[in-house]
């Protein structure tokens, strides 16, 4: 494991979202696989159905700074690849001494999984188990030799810690590395154990983004029609939230329109550049309406992300443990800032000065 302090503005993965063809089935799977408590399914009222709003469910870890979610998809997913081969995959920290207990629980609930194997493939030593949900989305229990601070302080009743990493496909690792360096200040981490065709980007608090070199894009990504809403959210310091978005809005194009209206071919979708776009949530629609830029962003390979703020819980100021600051609070700040700035200021000027923390 590296001893170099990770660079960049991203501290943790706050949440990870998949698509599902059976939302109640996914919720019970998440309860059984991880011990997360069942939460209500959103979007199941007649009024919401009339508006065709998304049907989804989020399940939170105990201190609410970590969650996973699932959105009901408009079509059935094609079969996934074998365990450990399909991407994206989401990992969760566990303790090595608990791995057998986790395997017994997966067996008890007939959740398909691999054996526990030692791995150094992504440049860090530990034990890994890959498992899948009923839709074929894949996950990992990851027990590194060195658990970072905050990894297990946030945990479920079954002692599953917070999100440890996500694994995605990339058709050009250098392009992906440049994207995260330019817009998040992250640097690729490489050591003698890092496998060929692997890009590792470590976050401040310890979680990692891992990209694997592929020929074709992952199937289950927000950039592919007809799938919806699968994404990953990164935790940034409160004061980095708007400056980080501003870097993206300044440097990236905005997607042409809401995906449901575009009807682009798969080939065209696969050749879209990295971009910002509409975040298909109530806050996201409002955000785009008042600011004309979306708060979702895509890498070069169709994976969708957004930022979320984090306020340190401890006096040392680190975000090892944090209280999340949600998008709706930032939307309020954005709206107030726009109101203050709109009179007599040109569009580019107010956009540049909007919600700059230094000017508040
Ligand atoms: Fe999100």
Please tell me the predicted confidence (pLDDT) of residue 356. Answer: 39
Q: How far is the CA of 346 from the centre of ligand 1 (A)?
A: 32
Are 359 and 353 in contact, with CB atoms under 8 Å apart?
A: yes
Ligand 1 centroid, distance to 69 Cα (angstroms): 8
Number of domains in the chain: 1
Among the residues of 98-172, which ranges form H helices?
A: 99-108
* Cα 17 to ligand 1 centroid, rounded to whole Å: 7
Rounded Cα gap, residues 266 and 263, in angstroms: 9
The answer as to whether 185 is a domain residue is yes
pLDDT score recorded for residue 268: 93
- Cα(293)–Cα(334) distance, integer angstroms: 12
The alpha helices in 9-45, defined as continuous H runs, are 23-34
Position 60 in a domain: yes
- For residue 3, is it within any domain? no
CB-based contact 81:137 (threshold 8 Å): no
In a domain, 121, yes or no: yes
Q: Tokens at residue 111, please? A: 């959740």
- CA 306 / ligand 1 centre spacing (Å): 6
Quote the DSSP letter at residue 89.
E
In a domain, 1, yes or no: no
In angstroms, what CA-CA distances link 289 with 17, 48, 74, 297?
24, 20, 25, 16
pTM of the model: 0.93
Backbone angles phi, psi at 149, to 5 degrees: -60, 135
| CATH of residue 15 | 3.10.180.10
Residue 76 lies in a domain: yes
Residue 290 counted as domain residue: yes
**CA 220 to CA 18: how far, in whole Å?**
8
Structural domain boundaries enclosing 296: 10-359
Would residue 2 count as lying in a domain?
Answer: no
Whether the predicted pLDDT of 348 surpasses 70: no
Taking the centre of ligand 1 as the mean of its atom positions, its distance from the CA of residue 360, in whole angstroms, is 26
pLDDT on residue 344 = 53
pLDDT, tens only, 36-93: 999 999 999 999 989 888 999 999 998 999 999 999 999 999 999 999 999 999 999 9
């Amino acid at each position: 494991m590296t001893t170099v302090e990770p660079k960049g503005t991203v501290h943790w993965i706050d949440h990870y979202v998949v698509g599902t063809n059976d939302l109640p089935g996914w919720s019970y799977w998440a309860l059984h696989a991880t011990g997360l408590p069942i939460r209500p399914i959103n979007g199941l009222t007649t009024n919401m159905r009339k508006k065709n709003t998304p049907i989804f469910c989020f399940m939170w870890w105990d201190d609410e700074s970590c969650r996973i979610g699932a959105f009901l998809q408009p079509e059935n997913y094609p079969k996934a690849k074998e365990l450990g081969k399909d991407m994206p995959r989401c990992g969760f920290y566990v303790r090595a001494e608990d791995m057998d207990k986790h395997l017994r629980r997966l067996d008890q609930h007939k959740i398909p999984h691999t054996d526990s194997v030692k791995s150094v493939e992504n440049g860090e030593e530990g034990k890994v188990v890959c498992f899948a949900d009923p839709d074929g989305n894949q996950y990992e229990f990851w027990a590194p030799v060195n658990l970072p601070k905050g990894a297990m302080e946030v945990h479920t009743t079954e002692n599953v810690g917070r999100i440890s990493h996500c694994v995605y496909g990339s058709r050009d690792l250098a392009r992906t590395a440049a994207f995260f360096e330019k817009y998040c200040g992250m640097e690729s981490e490489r050591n003698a154990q890092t496998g060929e065709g692997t890009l590792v980007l470590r976050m401040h608090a310890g979680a990692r983004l891992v990209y694997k070199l592929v020929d074709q894009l992952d199937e289950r990504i927000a950039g592919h029609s007809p799938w919806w809403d699968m994404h990953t959210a990164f935790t940034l310091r409160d004061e980095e939230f708007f400056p980080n978005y501003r870097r993206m809005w300044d440097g990236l194009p905005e997607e042409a329109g809401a995906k449901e209206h575009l009807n682009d071919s798969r080939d065209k979708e696969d050749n879209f550049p990295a971009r910002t776009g509409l975040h298909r949530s109530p806050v996201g629609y409002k955000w785009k309406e008042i600011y004309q830029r979306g708060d979702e962003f895509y890498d070069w390979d169709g994976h969708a992300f957004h930022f979320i703020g984090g306020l340190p819980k401890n006096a040392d100021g680190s975000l090892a443990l944090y209280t999340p600051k949600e998008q709706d609070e930032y939307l309020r700040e954005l709206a107030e800032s726009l109101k203050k700035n709109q009179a007599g200021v040109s569009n580019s000027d107010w956009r540049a000065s909007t919600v700059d923390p230094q000017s508040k």
